[in-house]
Amino acid sequence: MLERSARESRGSARVLVVGIDAGDPDLILAGARAGRLPHLAALLARSAHGPTANPRGLYVGAVWPSFFTGVSPARHGRHCYSQIRVGSYEGRRFRPRDLAHEPFWNALSRAGRRVAILDVPKTFPTPELNGLQLCDWGTHDPEAETQSWPPEWAAEVEARFGPDPVGRCDRPDRDAKDFADLRDRLVERAGARARWARHVLESDAWDLFMTVFSETHCVGHQCWHLHDPTDAHHDPVLRAALGDPLEAVYAAVDRGIGALLEDVGSDTTVLVVASHGMGSHYDGTFLLPEILRRIQNPPTSSLRRRGGELLADAWMKLPPAARRRLGPLRDRFRAPLAKALPDTEMQGARPCFPVENNDAFGAIRLNLVGREPNGCLRRGEEADAFCRDLTQKLRSLVRVNDGTPIVRDVLRSADLFQGEQLDALPDLLVEWDRSAPIREVESPLTGRFEGQFAGTRTGDHRAAGMWLAAGPGLAPGASVDPVSVMDFAPSIGRLLGVPLAGLDGRPIPALDARHSGKAH
């Protein structure tokens, strides 16, 4: 199946799209300037390029679905790996097949374009696709086992090039040997990905060829404290012993991109998209349940409340290293325990409750009459007044050590997004002040309390990504205005002569040779 087609003795692509999952723009630009990323540096020199704008507050879980559907989260419906089922209080795993809007390459396939879609995050194989698709061979936080179209192709790829050498990268504790092993395996995976992607690129004449390097995502989460000397968890001894794992992995991805660029000619449009950035994990989402409990002070039973307080106190008395090791175990049993003890607070006694979203932005769902089974807030002025009051109370929370606010803003999803899936999203998004760690906090209403993030990740996402594009008729140069991540789908469709209707995104003028001279 991977042998070269008789259509051409050497394959290529009309449009080559390379994703760098959670590739931090500042690291990419700095590495290019310093000569550590020579292939991206050469591409930047001849490209139109600039920042991207991702769905505010939801860019961790919704960035890739918004990219490949071309519509907002309020239309495709995904914001997190686990979401409340509308009309209930039940959380459920959100799978790629649950998306309410199809990927743009389906329309290209129906229009007769030949496509290869390799390891794009949060996707599933499209049956009868005019081409090849591989899902979750080596993505960050894979959704399922490796799958493909045609179904037998995944086994062929793994037989020829091997399985993912990394697997899930989150681990409760790591020593120097473990960090070195993770770095080396990520470098190995970037090289293996480039080899099999290049083999596929050479095998046919593709209209669209797209692949995503996820290694930058994994190393950013796990090793940010080794990269950034200002990070609160920075370990200079470990850094001296290991070097910078992020630099090593970014360099491996750069080599992989260089290998793919060797197989495209001057008639190919090359588009590189670094989805979203990375920085220190200074977030407060882990404190949000306790914050809301203290703000609302619901009428729960004294036994249940006292039991919860005792467990929380015992947890916080554990050493930080013990909490990091035991965090995954606690998370594993927390959901079943919550189901075993019916939460009367959630079942109508509370006007709002926290829901899963991401660490960068906390998420709150309103208990609305007519939507939740035991809703207690009416849409309109009653809900609006509650949100204004809650926002004021959240913004009054400060760090004990220096009195700085921990909440920058509280956003309403309905002000940011429009679409038929709006009720699938959190109602409120809490934007944390991430200039410093959030640990011990207080406000006049909540009093003083503290917490500690129990996960393993020292790096967390930043909203901005970047893009660069080179090809026939495209003028090089930097653009200041961010490009919406939803704009890439209609832009690629236009490059391939397939108008894509019904999308929220709009074609990017800089990617059209007829307008490129006006864009810079």
What tokens does 181 get?
């092993």
Q: What is the mean pLDDT of residues 119-143?
A: 96
Does the pLDDT of residue 266 top 50, yes or no? yes
Does the pLDDT of residue 307 top 90, yes or no? no
Residue of 234, 134, 244 whose CA lies nearest to 180: 244
- pLDDT band, residue 395 (cuts 50/70/90): very high
Specify the pLDDT at position 171: 77
Q: What is the mean pLDDT of residues 118-141?
A: 97
Which pTM was predicted?
0.89
Which residue carries 């090791």 as its tokens? 325
Specify the pLDDT at position 330: 57
Q: Which SS3 state, helix, strand or coil, does residue 252 take?
A: helix
- pLDDT band, residue 312 (cuts 50/70/90): low
Average pLDDT, the chain: 90
Does the pLDDT of residue 337 top 80, yes or no? no
Q: Which residue segments constitute the domains of the chain, with CATH numbers given?
A: 12-280+461-518 (3.40.720.10), 285-300+344-452 (no CATH)
- pLDDT band, residue 471 (cuts 50/70/90): very high
Amino acid at the residue 75 = R
Residues sharing a CB contact under 8 Å with residue 454, sequence separation 6 or more, in sequence order: 286, 323, 324, 326, 327, 330, 331
Specify the pLDDT at position 278: 97
Phi-psi category of residue 263: left, alpha or beta, with phi > 0 → left and psi -120 to 50 → alpha:
alpha
Specify the pLDDT at position 124: 96
Specify the pLDDT at position 302: 41
Residue 314 CB neighbours (<10 A):
9
CA distance 74 to 220: 28
Q: What is the mean pLDDT of residues 497-513?
A: 92
Does the pLDDT of residue 222 top 90, yes or no? yes
Strand order in the sheet with 447-450: 398-399, 440-443, 447-450
- C-alpha to C-alpha distances, 280 to 179, 232, 459, 460, 491, nearest whole angstrom: 17, 8, 5, 6, 33
Amino acid at the residue 460 = D
Q: What is the mean pLDDT of residues 101-117?
A: 98
